[in-house]
Amino acid sequence: MKRLTLLLVLLLAAPAQAGTIKASWDPKFGDSYSFDATPGQRNAIAIERVRTGFRLTDSAGAPTGDCVAESAAAVLCSIPADLYVQAGDGDDTLVDRDGVIDDAHGGPGDDRLEVTAGARLTGDDGDDTLIGSPHKDRIEDGAGRRDRRPTGPRRLRACPAQRPLRHPAAG
């Protein structure tokens, strides 16, 4: 009985894990990372460049995997590379401050995805807010009502499911 109690205490005391981050290399595309959020988490993800790569911070806890833990909520990824994000279920927030993200999926839930450089944003199920950049973004529908707003000079309008939109200023 004491072993079971000790095991339960250790499991409950373990830090939260936001998800998993993996590094990969492709001969056509080069280095990249992918972040997959843990199911059942409400993620508030912030991405920013640092001198040697990028930092991923998540209120749900630091991801495990191929980057170095910086704190209980952040990891440092040492290779400057594109990042692919799968935010998972829940009402998630994702802000890319420095153009690290190449592709982001909100997953089920009412999500807010915001980028500052050209990226592909997919809302998936839920009522999502997708905020693009003044660059060539690709913004795609999922199920649910969508509010798409680029930070550039014009607004994008809602369209039928799975029809890609381009930022009007990008041409």
Q: What pLDDT, in 10s, does the model give residues 7-39?
A: 333 334 445 578 999 999 988 888 999 999 999
Say which residues have a Cβ less than 8 Å from residue 8's Cβ, sequence separation at least 6: none
Average pLDDT along the chain: 79
Q: How far is residue 103 from each of residues 39, 106, 121, measured CA to CA in Å?
A: 19, 10, 6
Residue 164: predicted pLDDT:
38
Q: How far is residue 89 from each of residues 17, 33, 40, 41, 50, measured CA to CA in Å?
A: 15, 20, 6, 7, 28
The stretch 103-107 carries a mean pLDDT of: 94
- Which residue type sits at 69? A
Residue 56 has pLDDT above 70, yes or no: yes
Distance from C-alpha of 83 to C-alpha of 115, rounded to nearest angstrom? 12
The model's pTM is 0.75
The stretch 41-69 carries a mean pLDDT of: 94
More confident residue, 4 or 131: 131
Sign of CA dihedral 120, 51, 74, 80: positive
Residue 157: predicted pLDDT:
37
